[in-house]
Amino acid sequence: MKIIDKIKVILKSELFKTIVFFTVVSFFAAHFVLYFERQETNQQYQNLWDSVWWTIVTIFTVGYGDKAPVSIGGRLIAIFVMIAGLYLISLITATISSIFVTRKIREGQGLESIKYENHIIICGWNNTTDKIIDSIFLLSQEKLKIVLINELPEEQIHSVLDKYSKYKVKFVRGDYTRHNSLERANLSAAQAVLLLPNLFKLDGKAADDKTLLATLNIKSVYPKIKVLAFLVNTENEVHVKRAKADEIFVSDQYIDFLIASDLTTPGMKKIFSELFSEKVDKNSVRILQIPSRFKGKKYSEVFQYFKNQNNLLVGLLSERETLGVSDFLSSDTSHLDAFIEKKIKESGRSLGEDNKIFVNLNPRDDYIIGENEKAVVIS
């Protein structure tokens, strides 16, 4: 049924009608001109292609002058083609302009499908979203493409798109928990999806519920796509973990530690501010590729390599597939599952899903560099 519906849409489109009109005029004009000119033995019209060439040149008012009818019938046809050409040119120009203008308007309203590949999809909106986008473009070494999915008012989203007009930022209007909105953002070709609490219209609990639902929808269809979830309430973290989110961030997760650290050891806040600064001319934490020639070599050799480049190597990072304990738990929230989770947490162990990323800070000098490890440096 979808193919039939598409055919019906094409048949009703102005562009199709214009093409049909142009084809009919060209066909009949070419045949009649050829017929009349052959009666006058006009050598300029040897075959149908000659008359088709003359018709197209006349319709588009090019006027090469290489062929011209000499018969009365041929000239009458020429007059008709000239008049029809003026109408056709206007119609073609208007139709094509209308298609592009309509597409641009729909794109601005977030109603068009996006053709980006290897892009980042940012779902939801709050007062930190624009800062996150700024940091993405500041820290990325390549020109990343971003697609926003939200339901912001039209004037607000236009302001956002204007702000990032020099970057590749597109907008899809819709509910990001629905499959249709995600497909219009070309989810299947995305690099990663960032789910932000939709705080401009929801409270914290409802926003976290929506993040959980979106995570489930994305991972059920495209389990390999990386999903980063931002939560308001820490008690929802376990549920989003079990929905298979790759990374989870909780609002103000480390604020208590920073406050306590600065109280007991004044200056800690300043250190963290310097390390995680957005300014490129300041020292900051970076994750860099380790040259392949150092695979299987000692950590001390890699340390010296980065030191020669004015980078301080502080550790290693690797990503591995893991099988977490929650993979064995049932999908419902039974008392047995709750008891198991509680005992695991009391023992100081995690459920396993957050161990896909491994960080090894300050390893021994004789530690051997693995195949998939990257460098954590202060540069």
Report, as an integer, the average pLDDT of 212-238: 90
Please name the residue that has the structure tokens 């600065």: 262
Q: Indicate the residue type of 99.
A: I
89, 50, 88: which is closest to 69 by C-alpha?
50
CB 172 within 8 A of CB 147: yes
353 pLDDT tier (thresholds 50, 70, 90): very low
Model-wide pTM > 0.85: no
**Do 247 and 121 have their domain in common?**
yes
In the predicted structure, residue 195 carries a pLDDT above the cut 90: yes
Q: Which are the contacts of 302, defined by CB distance < 8 A and separation ≥ 6?
A: 290, 294, 313, 369, 375
- Residues 69 and 80: their CA atoms lie apart, in Å, by 13
Range(s) of the domain holding residue 62:
2-108
Q: Is residue 268 part of a domain?
A: no
Does residue 7 sit within a domain? yes
Q: Is 298 helix (H, G, I), strand (E, B) or coil?
A: strand
Distance of alpha carbon 248 from alpha carbon 342, whole angstroms: 19
DSSP β-bridge partners for residue 170: 147
193 phi, psi to nearest 5 deg: -125, 130
Count the neighbouring beta carbons within 10 Å of the beta carbon of residue 50. Answer: 19
Note the pLDDT tens digit of each residue in 166-188: 889 999 988 899 888 899 999 99
Residues 139 and 21 grouped into a single domain: no
Same domain, 26 and 127: no
Residues 118 and 104 in one domain: no
Closest CA to 132 of 117, 143, 148: 148
